[in-house]
Amino acid sequence: MMRLAVKRPLRVLIVDRSAEDAKQLVRLLREGGYDPAFERVDTADSMATALEQSWELVIANSGIPNFGRLDALALLKERGLDLPFLIVSDIDNEEAVVTALKAGAHDYITKGNLERIALSVERELRAAQTRRERQVGAEHLQRHRDLQTALIDASLAITSTLDLKTVLNFLLEKVDIVLPNSATTVRLYNRETGALEPITCRNIDENEWRAANTSSNRNSRRKVNRPALHNGFPIRLDKAYSDLGSVDIFRKYGFVSYLEVPLLAKDEMLGVLGFYAHKGHQFSQEEVEFLSMLATQAAIAIQKSQLYEQTRKQKAELERANKVKTEFLSLMSHELRTPLTAIIGYTGVVRDGIFGQLSVEQEEALSRVLSRSNNLLEMIESILQATIFETEEVKVQIGTFSLSDFLSELRLLYRVPMDKDTTLIWDYPSQLPTIRADRTKLTHILRNLISNAIKFTDQGHVKVSVRHSPGTKKVTFRVTDTGIGIPSKALPSIFEMFYQVERPETRPYGGMGIGLYIVEKFTEILGGTVEVKSKPGKGSTFTVAIPDGI
């Protein structure tokens, strides 16, 4: 049986003036187990042209004027080609060998030793293969490192900002590391309309891209026909994507491969990243993974920035709504106050008999009208006061006045006997100094505290105590009652606007929850403090201390 030895194919470029010599080389290679496909060149130009094709090996013989073996080697290096380069020469001297090897030739074979060429070829092919593998390995490792660094950088940068534009800039910058010659587009879903809107892009003209998007959105026949990507997996299309939206513009730039990566954050689909590459580039698994990880980080940051933006808008809307409410309340209170003041004035005049004698019942009825109207006026004034805090800066009007006179006047407001079993006790020294304070605000503070004490006390007493301490230049007002008291868990809230303690009893006490809010605000403006102590069922004590002169 005949045994056929399988010869190894070999693409070899021979630099030689003599076709005969070249043939001899080829014959030796054949004898050494190779099946050479070869080309012989004998000028720099023809070698340059031949190098356009791919070769496994170059053998340079001598004899070409103006284009020596080392010139051929230099040309190879110039092209960045790392092919085994063997020199065949009839010069057998050590110096020539050293020079050739130093210049980068891989072997130097003298004509006398030509039969060992096949062995040398085999060795050099193996060495070149090892070099290539090492090179690929090193490049791979380096790229892996670059991607890891890019991901860490991106995660730090992307998640440390709330500004959408900055997030997207970082994102595109990092994409550049992996796909320097590609284009990237970012489209996000509009939360209100549900439409995918163009946000930003890289390496294509933004205006052109936006325009193309708008027209492809408008024209339903050219609607993007893409697979149901939204199971959250990237889509990779490595061939021309004739049915993708806004295709013309990408074709114009020569992009033919497409990778679409969803921007997913906590199961919410925020949008898509599109990557477009030129012919010949197929998105590798490594790229898909890197871009997917980048997209995940970007999605978290985008979601954060969108939530922040939403909160900011809501805050602005709330502030606006609050302002409208306050202005409305203020206007309404003003409008109510004027007619009410007239009602109170006329009722007083009629009740006092100016327009004729009244029966006891008539007088009593008008007194009730007056008392209720005064309550109403007090409420309206409270609203007005409270709205002032929200709309304008409250001014302090400091004056000098006698504390005794001030208290005598305050007492007049509570002259009428109370229609319940409660005594109002005034407790202050007969000699009190003049003080410097805002008289109107002080009146509001005390009226609110005393009204509350009376309102929430059915039996016992309400006591108003006043002390002036010249040493600390402080005036202390204390309103104590023996009323229903305040549960301790409600105490921290009673100074909030509109807060009223929920009571199990069905009896309504009236009021709007504004009085104590005003007390606290005014006290604060006067540079003072307010404290409360209370025991449910036993009573409450409110203490306001203000400086004499601010």
Residue facing ligand ADP at closest CB distance? 511
Q: What are 115-123's contacts with CB under 8 Å, separation 24+?
A: 115/28, 117/25, 117/28, 117/29, 117/32, 117/59, 117/86, 117/88, 118/28, 118/29, 118/31, 118/32, 118/33, 118/34, 119/32, 120/86, 121/10, 121/29, 121/32, 121/34, 121/57, 121/84, 121/86, 122/32
Binding mask 395-434 for ligand ADP (x = CB under 6 A): ----------------------------------------
Tokens standing for 203? 């390496």
Q: Which residue in the set 67, 477, 517, 522 belongs to the binding site for ligand ADP (CB under 6 A)?
A: 517
Hey, what amino acid is at 177? I
| Least distance from ligand ADP to the Cβ atom of residue 507, Å | 12
| Least distance from ligand ADP to the Cβ atom of residue 499, Å | 6
Of all helices (H) and strands (E), which one includes residue 96? Answer: helix 94-103
Q: Which residue in the set 515, 526, 530, 546 belongs to the binding site for ligand ADP (CB under 6 A)?
A: 515
Q: How far apart are CA 481 and CA 39, in angstroms?
A: 116
DSSP string, 104-159: T-SEEEEGGGGGGHHHHHHHHHHHHHHHHHHHHHHHHHHHHHHHHHHHHHHHHHHT
User: Which is nearer to ligand ADP, 84 or 515 (by Cβ)?
Assistant: 515
Q: In the sheet where 57-60 sits, what is the strand order?
A: 34-41, 8-15, 57-60, 85-89, 107-110
User: Which is nearer to ligand ADP, 75 or 394 (by Cβ)?
Assistant: 394
Tokens standing for 220? 């339903």
User: Which is nearer to ligand ADP, 192 or 502 (by Cβ)?
Assistant: 502
Q: How many angstroms separate the Cα of 346 from the Cα of each of 58, 214, 367, 370, 373? A: 121, 71, 12, 10, 12
Q: Which residue in the set 540, 544, 546, 548 belongs to the binding site for ligand ADP (CB under 6 A)?
A: 540
| Least distance from ligand ADP to the Cβ atom of residue 332, Å | 18
| Least distance from ligand ADP to the Cβ atom of residue 397, Å | 23
Q: Return the range that interacts with ligand ADP (CB under 6 A); candidates 47-55, 106-114, 357-365, 482-490.
A: 482-490
Hey, what amino acid is at 224? V
User: Which is nearer to ligand ADP, 234 or 483 (by Cβ)?
Assistant: 483
CB contact at 8 A, 534 and 541: yes
Hey, what amino acid is at 415? R
Should residue 435 be labelled a site residue for ligand ADP when binding is judged by CB under 6 A?
Answer: no
User: Which is nearer to ligand ADP, 385 or 540 (by Cβ)?
Assistant: 540
Q: Which residue in the set 159, 347, 500, 543 belongs to the binding site for ligand ADP (CB under 6 A)?
A: 500
Binding mask 236-275 for ligand ADP (x = CB under 6 A): ----------------------------------------
3-state secondary structure of 382: helix
Should residue 511 be labelled a site residue for ligand ADP when binding is judged by CB under 6 A?
Answer: yes
Q: How far apart are CA 125 and CA 297, in angstroms?
A: 46
User: Which is nearer to ligand ADP, 513 or 547 (by Cβ)?
Assistant: 513
Should residue 514 be labelled a site residue for ligand ADP when binding is judged by CB under 6 A?
Answer: yes
Q: Which residue in the set 501, 529, 543, 547 belongs to the binding site for ligand ADP (CB under 6 A)?
A: 501
Binding mask 437-476 for ligand ADP (x = CB under 6 A): -----------x---xx--x--------------------
What angle (nearest 5°) sits at the alpha carbon of residue 452, between those of residues 451 and 454?
65
Q: Which residue in the set 260, 481, 520, 548 belongs to the binding site for ligand ADP (CB under 6 A)?
A: 481
CB contact at 8 A, 276 and 305: no
| Least distance from ligand ADP to the Cβ atom of residue 538, Å | 10
Specify which residues 10 forms β-bridges with. 36
CB contact at 8 A, 166 and 187: no
Q: Return the range that interacts with ligand ADP (CB under 6 A); candidates 25-33, 157-165, 206-214, 507-515.
A: 507-515
User: Which is nearer to ligand ADP, 233 or 426 (by Cβ)?
Assistant: 426
Q: Which residue in the set 512, 524, 535, 538 belongs to the binding site for ligand ADP (CB under 6 A)?
A: 512
What angle (nearest 5°) sits at the alpha carbon of residue 286, between those of residues 281 and 288?
75
Q: How far apart are CA 212 and CA 234, in angstroms?
A: 23
Q: Return the range that interacts with ligand ADP (CB under 6 A); candidates 257-265, 352-360, 400-408, 492-500.
A: 492-500
Residues that bind ligand ADP (CB under 6 A): 448, 452-453, 456, 481, 483-486, 494, 499-501, 511-517, 540
